[in-house]
Amino acid sequence: MEKDLKGLTMKKIFLTLTLLLTFYFIGCDKVTDPPVVSDITAKEKVDDVMQKAKLDFATDTKLSAIYGWNVDLLGKVDLLQTDNAFVYVVQSNSLQSNEFYVPVFAAGPVKSPINFTTMLSFIKDTTAGSILGKVFNRLSTLAIDPNANYIDSPATIDTALVHGGNTFIAVNDKARIDMFLVPSKSIDTTLALNNSADWIVNFNSSNKSLVLWINSNSGVVTKLSGN
C-alpha cells in the first residue's frame, strides 16, 4: 500500500513538472515570436510598387502620385484594415497613361480598383476637388523625379496638424484625413523644372473640410480651402 502511494506521488510530481515545463516553453515561444507590423508610411512601399509596375505596366514606369485614404494621426495606414489605403499612381511616357497600385499585407503590391474618379468622389470640398481634378489631368505626362526631396507622410501630418488640423479635429466629430503627394509642377504650372513633390492634406468631416498645400521646397503651408 505504501509503495502504491509513493508511486502515485511520484507520478503526480512528474506530471506537474511536465505541465510546468510545457507552459514555460510555450511562454518562451510567445515571447520570441516577432510582432506583426502591418502599418506603413507613404514612402515605405514605393520601391516595391515601382518594381511591380515595371514588370506588368511599363518598363519606363515612374511614380506620379500617392493617395493616402483615411490615414491615421501618425500618417500611416494599416494593411490589415479595409477602410484605409495608400494608392500609388504610376505613369509611363511611352504609354502616356497611368496605373494604380496598392500594397497587400504579406503579398506585395497589386493593381488597385481606386482610380482618379474614385479619389475625386471622396473629396467633398469643391475647391479641393477642382484643384485636384486639374492636377489629375496632368499626371499622365508628369511624374515625380526619383531624386525629389519630400517628407514622408508622418512628418506631413505633423505639419498639417499644427497648421489647423488639430483645431479641425477638435471641433469636428469623426473627422478623417486624406492626403495626396503630387509633382509640384502639377499644382504650380509656372515652375520651370519638375524636380519636387508637394503634399495636399484634406481634413474632412460630413460637412466640413480643411485643405492644406505643403510646399516641399519652401516648407510654406498654404490653406487652399476651409469651411
Tell me the average pLDDT across 26-35. Answer: 53
Q: Per-residue confidence at 2, pLDDT binned at 50, 70, 90? A: very low
Half-sphere exposure of 97 (CA within 13 A, CB side): 8
Residues 69 and 136 in one domain: yes
Residues 21 and 64 in one domain: no
* pLDDT(89) > 80: yes
Residues 135 and 104 in one domain: yes
* pLDDT(62) > 50: yes
Residues 15 and 51 in one domain: no
Residues 22 and 53 in one domain: no
Q: Which residue has the cell 502620385?
A: 65
Closest-CA residue to 210 (of 170, 182, 183, 181): 170
Residues 82 and 146 in one domain: yes
| Structure confidence at residue 87 (pLDDT) | 97
Residues 128 and 200 in one domain: yes
Residues 68 and 1 in one domain: no
Closest-CA residue to 172 (of 200, 204, 125): 204
CB 216 within 8 A of CB 148: yes
* Residue range(s) defining the domain that contains residue 170: 39-226
Task: Give the pairing type, strands 77-78 and 197-204.
Answer: unpaired
Tell me the average pLDDT across 69-80. Answer: 97
Residues 84 and 193 in one domain: yes
Residues 11 and 110 in one domain: no
Residues 20 and 107 in one domain: no
Mean of per-residue pLDDT scores for the chain: 85
pLDDT in tens, 185-212: 888 877 766 668 999 999 999 889 999 9
DSSP 94: T
Task: Give the pairing type, strands 197-204 and 176-183.
Answer: antiparallel
* pLDDT(47) > 50: yes
pLDDT in tens, 111-147: 999 999 999 998 888 888 998 999 999 999 899 988 8
Total domains in the fold of the chain: 2
What's the whole-model pTM score?
0.83
